[in-house]
Structure 1
Amino acid sequence: MKGKIVWALAIVGIALGVWLFSSPDITDYSISDDPEAVERGRYLVHAAGCISCHINDDGSLSGGMAIESPFGTFYASNITPDPESGIGNWTGTDVVRALKHGRSPTGDFYFPAFPYRSYAAMSDAEALDIAAWLMAQDPVANTIPGHDLPGWVMRWQMAGWNKLVDFAEPEMPIYDDEQITRGAYLTRYLGHCGECHSPRNSLGIIKYDQEFAGGDMPDGHVAAINASAMEKWSEDDLALFLFIGMKPDGEFVGGKMEPVIEHNTGQLTDEDRQAMAAFLKRGQ
């Protein structure tokens, strides 16, 4: 009897391991060098906020920026096509796996300081366009230091963490308004605004019932951008803020939001900024 129990537990353990650690099944993709794909990728790189995190002092996306969190300090990776310290040897499949599933080319888990949970909503085609633009840039050699984390924080734990997020994440609403639908995608997913502007529980999982209600980081509080916080802002106020960082009272934003305006929302089309404003005012 004891032997049967041991075998049953072993089978359950193997099944659980496969469920938690199996690598996502992704089509074999190559990376295009077509100019139109590269141009689409340029826009998506700005919209996805890649530059404000991965930019180096030399203006390249060779990484190194320290990202402080309650779980330690993470360092933004080198996403130039340098074959040694960057992503020069990556395939299109590797890029899709990283952006949408949080896994490295070798199958290791990325930490969610990299917002792959939000990027999961982008299409494979969008991820490949991003890859096309990144691979068209000059390679820059810059070896990034390892993350500075307490000993109890390990990559394999992300297998269970991702499953917990799957259970916690609610079904998001479907909007009848095309503009709000676009704004929701840009704000909630591609621009991943909620990653900083939402509170999290002790495991670092977003409190989805308080989405955009403001967050706390080691260096200070991140402002709420939910409908109640934006009550006195008009949609045009919000769209202008996303363009040049000016608030309704005439003051300009500073701190970590400044490069987001410069490299992310300020580079979008007027239509996309207006869509984000419409979502923040009417879509929540």
Structure 2
Amino acid sequence: MAQKIGIVTDSTADFPDGVIGRLGLNVIPVHVIVDGISYLDGHTISNDEVKSYLLENRDVSTSPPTPAEYADHFERLLGKFDILLSFHISDALSGCYKSARSALNLMDSKDADKIKLFDTGTVSFGQGQYICRAIDLIREYKSINGLDKRMSGFLEKSVVNFTVDNLAWLRKGGRVSAMSAIVGDMFDIKPIIAMKNGRLVPVDRKRGKKNTFKAMAEYASKTREGEAGGFDLWVGHCNALDDAAYLAGKLAGALNYPINDIIILEIGPTITAHTGPGSVGWSMMPRL
């Protein structure tokens, strides 16, 4: 009899509407902390509430699930599955992976041996694409053996790229200095940030949204130079659907990609807390 495999992720991963249910994903909520009060992403706080709190200049931050919380989730899921594959945000950006690994030490060794943790090396819609591709590979090979090695090849050629409307939230998270944030907002300077080796790295900056989206599309085109084969393209946003649609159009033109095949999604509370309303980005993952 085939083993039942459960797919687990943190709420740091973002997906198109309906994908979580269709793929039967098990999402462990990150803590969203507002003025010192802890809420659970998607359970006791909504995305709209997080956006409102940010716009009200409330103190909003996030914290990983505790090892005990991970252990509780893992033990409950092992009542339904034989094996758990747990996919986490880049270890360089969050303590989720470390907390999940610590959880294994709290569990019976026989149960802990049934759980395989993955540091996806990415975040948000990039993390969502990583998980979807991993599921594709499991179905293709009908096995989880060698999955981490196969996924490393896909991750090397995947791209995540985003910008924010207001530098205040990146400043709060330590991504830019206070002076850079003040000057950037004063002159409408938008950073373009990419995932590189599991970390967020500024790759460009432009004045104004249209120049920024044009530069992001050019960046996408450069990443495909010399590359063959198809790829999936997602555009994510926080309360910025019109901007996301505009960026999708620019990406379609730059990549000669069918615009109707570009998936547009809204990022969830955990990532919203760090990038803020108006943030927009895209992710690209090679197909099988």
Give yes or no for TM over 0.5.
no
TM-score of the superposed pair, with normalisation by structure 1: 0.27
Greater Cα radius of gyration, structure 1 or 2 = 1
TM-score where L is the length of structure 2:
0.27
- The higher-RCO structure (CA 8 Å, 6+ apart) is 2
Between structures 1 and 2, the one with greater strand share:
2
